[in-house]
Amino acid sequence: MWTIGMVATISQFVLPPVEAGGYAFSLVALAMLYFAPIVGTMVAESWGHWFNDFLAKRHMERYGFEHWTIFCLPRHAALTGAWLNFGRVVGGFAVAYFQMPWVQRNGPALSFGCQGVVMVGAALVIVATQIWGRTWRAKFPAPGGREARE
């Protein structure tokens, strides 16, 4: 989510001169900020493709098929995935609309610090779901699914 917002606003941070609060990057240096992740992604994909296949095969042989969304909401796995991805994309594109005025008003430290706090909060929600998810599913079943009656 933040990646989409950063791609839309990074040039506004690094291109202005130092006197104006920027970093005075050249256009070539800015291009490298976009090019480096592309190279990293290509390297990671080429290595990760084979390694992740190995890990997935080993996991399937050991544990069988089990995925968290299917386990949590067996009749709503596709809907759950769709809503999660929708939230990520909408949130990412929304960053470009509020980040620059926020940075200009309060500075980058406060802006990125608050975004970091949001990410820590999201991580804590995941941990809480891992700990208490079974209890929550029993107490608040998904509407209309077979798991609601079990």
**How many C-beta atoms surround the C-beta of residue 123 within 10 A?**
10
Asked if 97 and 105 touch (Cβ cutoff 8 Å), the reply is: no
Write out pLDDT tens, residues 11-34.
Answer: 888 888 989 888 899 999 999 998
Write out pLDDT tens, residues 87-104.
Answer: 888 888 888 788 888 888
* Tokens 């608050």 found at: 114
Domain hosting 7: range is: 2-148
Confidence of residue 143 (pLDDT cuts 50, 70, 90): confident
Angle between helix 2-14 and 108-139 (nearest 10):
180
What is the distance in angstroms between the CA of the first residue and the CA of the last residue of the chain? 36
Write out pLDDT tens, residues 23-72.
Answer: 899 999 999 998 988 899 999 999 988 898 898 888 778 766 656 556 66
pTM of the predicted model over 0.75: no
The total number of structural domains in the chain stands at: 1
Closest CA to 122 of 31, 1, 18: 1
